[in-house]
């Protein structure tokens, strides 16, 4: 969360642990940073400045000198090279590398608020000449940015009408009679919401009040009162918020961006149904693995934790559900809008309307006076997150303008002496592994998509493999951002609940990363081959 976004912490005696309003984003208390986090934050700004100066003005990196224009992949980079010449292009690459490294340091150390780092990044790209002003500032109007904004409108519609609360409470009361069943219900909720909500932060905001109340019912407090139930319910939801997004092409803006990048290089469209067919069974399977890993290995529940500790807790939820009464006209209209959106997304092969345009129409209908469901004042758009995303898109535009990923890839393969005879499976393992584990140090899914998907496309072209065979499996790994708080916006948000430690998050999340890599490798040899994504007869693993 950004500084100043949270309301002052309420006194514990004044807080009702079963009141969902106490767990809205703006009501979450600001978590006290650990000594290590404070040290990182203090070192971040001077370290970022030093790295920028060294790489922008002092370091002489051979692979950035004398770049061969014939090796460039990006059309923007080819035009920049032709317009400015070799020396200017190499200088732009040096500035781009310096800006990239400095931004990563600031994002990782949280020395500055994320949105402020993004604003500094954008103006740095302009002042160094990496991007013209119009291009750098225009990233705030990127189609995926609009999809995120429209998704927050639609998510607010779910909240304002009470439809999300009704659905969640019904599932909990109908099926959540035991602690284990509660976790399974949240898997279902995450899958259902992922099909509708194209922003993981919006999904986290919808689910947070509910699972925090459940945590309170089972006696899972924060601070020194952490329990395995509290650790498990928050970390499993963090995992499933992201895995659920990976099950659908529209699960996040980063997915859509990846699809757009691949479609532009592969010469054909990738549809909602194509992505869902490939990844829905994979992601649901990983959710179940995460459930077993949490419940059996990392956070097993004691007998005391398996029973509600607050007397009348479930009855309180039942009273909340009863108070909703019968489904209102607004809820019915909200249901129709969401079913229509999902139907249009699922049939995009037939009509060709983009997911952003579909979400636009849905949001407009929801906001229409007298006909619509929600008013603008009820819409909760976290603009600081939008500014952060704009910085990530601007960074991607800078990387495209300089073609730094392709330049680095070619330098790496040339230096390593990796020839054209490299087997497909070696490249597949390398690219999927780098994409997956890069989430440990990168702040933005968007940024990872903009960096590593073009690299996969470049590698496929260098070695003569179909673009989809390497780039699409890499894109399938965009949503694995659940290990550390700075890895994604939902991770940062849920860390503020103070129900788990960094060690808890790393042990559970990193284990799931390793398992996910194994699953994507097996899928590449089996399920993806069956779907025609990876080539047949080139893996040689089984």
Query: What pLDDT is attached to residue 155?
Result: 76
Residue 331 scores a pLDDT above 90: no
Please compute the mean of the pLDDT values over residues 406-422 and round it to a whole number: 75
Is residue 329 predicted with pLDDT exceeding 80? yes
The stretch 339-367 carries a mean pLDDT of: 84
Q: Which of 22-36, 95-109, 281-295 has the lowest mean pLDDT?
A: 22-36
Q: Are 328 and 161 in contact (CB under 8 A)?
A: yes
Has residue 162 been placed in a domain? yes
More confident residue, 381 or 512: 512
Q: What is the dihedral of CA 528, 530, 533, 535, to 10 degrees?
A: 110
pLDDT of 219 reads 74
Pick 216 or 239 by higher pLDDT: 239
Say what the pLDDT of residue 6 is. 38
The number of folded domains in the chain is 1
Task: Decide if 505 is inside a domain.
Answer: no
Let me know: does 356 contact 146? Beta carbons within 8 Å.
yes
- Residue 133 belongs to a domain: no
Instruction: Say how many C-beta atoms besides its own lie within 10 A of residue 524's C-beta.
Output: 24
- 93 located within any domain: no
Mean pLDDT of the chain: 81
Contact 504, 227 (CB under 8 A): no
CB of 458 closer than 8 Å to CB of 501: no
Residue numbers of the domain that contains 262: 143-378
Whole-angstrom Cα distance, residue 402 to residue 72?
9
Average pLDDT over residues 303-332: 78
Task: Please give the C-alpha separations between residue 59 and each of 18, 402, 443, in angstroms, as whole numbers.
Answer: 57, 18, 25
Would the pLDDT of 23 be above 60? no
**Is residue 210 situated within a structural domain?**
yes
Pairwise pLDDT comparison (50 vs 334), residue with the higher score: 50
Do the domain assignments include residue 242? Answer: yes
CA distance linking residue 374 with residue 80, whole number of Å: 46
Question: 493 to each of 116, 155, 270, 341, 385, how far by Cα in Å?
Answer: 17, 17, 31, 27, 11
Two tokens, residue 332: 């019915």
pLDDT above 90 coverage of the chain, percent: 24
Estimate the share of the chain in helix, then strand, then coil, as percent rounded to the nearest 5. 75, 0, 25
- Mean pLDDT for the stretch of residues 326-331: 87
Which residue would you say has higher pLDDT here, 90 or 489? Answer: 90
168-221 pLDDT, tens digit per residue, is 778 777 777 788 888 998 898 888 888 777 778 778 877 887 787 788 777 777
Residues 63, 60: Cα–Cα separation, whole Å: 9
Mean pLDDT for the stretch of residues 106-117: 83
Q: How far apart are CA 337 and CA 151, in angstroms?
A: 12
Tokens of 315: 């009855």
d(CA 249, CA 478): 11
pLDDT tens-digit readout, 468-478 = 899 999 999 99
Residue 11 has pLDDT above 50, yes or no: no
Rounded to a whole number of angstroms, the CA Rg of the chain reads 24
> Has residue 417 got a pLDDT over 80?
no
360 has pLDDT over 80: yes
Asked whether residue 235 is assigned to any structural domain, the reply reads yes
pLDDT of amino acid 72: 78
**CA 29 from chain center: how many Å?**
23
The separation between CA 6 and the C-alpha centre of its own chain, rounded to angstroms, equals 22
pLDDT of 25 reads 53
Report which of 21, 27, 20 is spatially closest to residue 211, judged by C-alpha positions.
20
Q: Is 122 a domain residue?
A: no
Most confident listed range (34-38, 117-121, 145-149): 117-121
């Amino acid at each position: 969360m950004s500084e100043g976004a949270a309301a002052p912490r309420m006194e514990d005696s004044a807080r009702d642990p079963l009141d969902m309003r106490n767990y809205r984003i703006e009501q979450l208390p600001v978590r006290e940073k650990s000594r290590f986090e404070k040290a990182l934050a203090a070192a971040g700004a001077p370290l970022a400045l030093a790295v920028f100066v060294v790489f922008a003005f002092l370091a002489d990196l051979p692979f950035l000198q004398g770049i061969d224009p014939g090796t460039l992949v990006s059309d923007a980079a080819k035009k920049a090279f032709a317009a400015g010449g070799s020396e200017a292009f190499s200088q732009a690459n040096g500035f781009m590398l310096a800006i990239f490294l400095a931004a990563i340091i600031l994002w990782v150390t949280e020395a500055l608020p994320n949105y402020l780092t993004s604003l500094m990044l954008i103006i740095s790209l302009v002042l160094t000449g990496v991007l013209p002003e119009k291009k750098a500032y225009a990233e705030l109007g990127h189609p995926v940015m609009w999809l995120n904004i429209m998704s927050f409108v639609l998510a607010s519609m779910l909240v304002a009408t009470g439809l999300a609360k009704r659905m969640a409470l019904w599932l909990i009361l109908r099926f959540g009679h035991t602690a284990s069943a509660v976790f399974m219900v949240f898997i279902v909720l995450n899958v259902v919401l992922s099909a509708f909500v194209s922003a993981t932060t919006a999904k986290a905001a919808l689910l947070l009040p509910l699972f925090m109340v459940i945590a309170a019912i089972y006696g899972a407090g924060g601070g020194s009162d952490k329990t395995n139930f509290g650790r498990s319910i928050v970390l499993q939801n963090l995992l499933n918020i992201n895995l659920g997004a990976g099950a659908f092409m529209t699960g996040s803006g980063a997915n859509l961006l990846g699809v757009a990048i691949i479609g532009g290089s592969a010469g054909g469209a990738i549809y909602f149904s194509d992505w869902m067919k490939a990844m829905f069974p994979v992601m649901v399977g990983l959710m179940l693995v995460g459930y077993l890993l949490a419940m059996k290995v990392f956070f097993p529940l004691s007998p005391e934790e398996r029973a509600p500790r607050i007397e009348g807790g479930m009855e309180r939820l039942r009273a909340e559900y009863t108070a909703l009464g019968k489904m209102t006209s607004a809820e019915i209209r909200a249901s129709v809008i969401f079913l229509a959106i999902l139907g249009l997304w699922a049939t995009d092969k037939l009509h060709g309307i983009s997911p952003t345009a579909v979400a636009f129409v849905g949001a407009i209908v929801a906001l229409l006076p007298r006909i619509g469901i929600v008013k603008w004042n009820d819409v909760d758009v976290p603009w600081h997150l939008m500014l952060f995303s704009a910085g990530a898109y601007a960074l991607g535009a800078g990387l495209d303008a300089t073609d730094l990923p392709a330049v680095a890839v070619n330098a790496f393969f040339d230096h390593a002496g990796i020839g054209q005879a490299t087997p497909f499976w070696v490249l597949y393992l390398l690219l999927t592994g780098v994409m997956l584990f890069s989430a440990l140090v990168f702040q933005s899914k968007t940024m990872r998509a903009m960096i590593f998907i073009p690299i996969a496309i470049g590698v496929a072209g260098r070695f003569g493999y179909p673009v989809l065979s390497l780039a699409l499996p890499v894109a399938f790994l965009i949503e694995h951002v659940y290990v550390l708080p700075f890895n994604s916006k939902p991770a940062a948000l849920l860390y503020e609940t103070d129900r788990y430690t960094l060690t808890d998050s790393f042990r559970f999340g990193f284990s799931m990363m390793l398992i996910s890599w194994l699953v994507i490798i097996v899928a590449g040899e089996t399920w993806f081959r069956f779907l025609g994504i990876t080539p047949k007869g080139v893996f040689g693993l089984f």
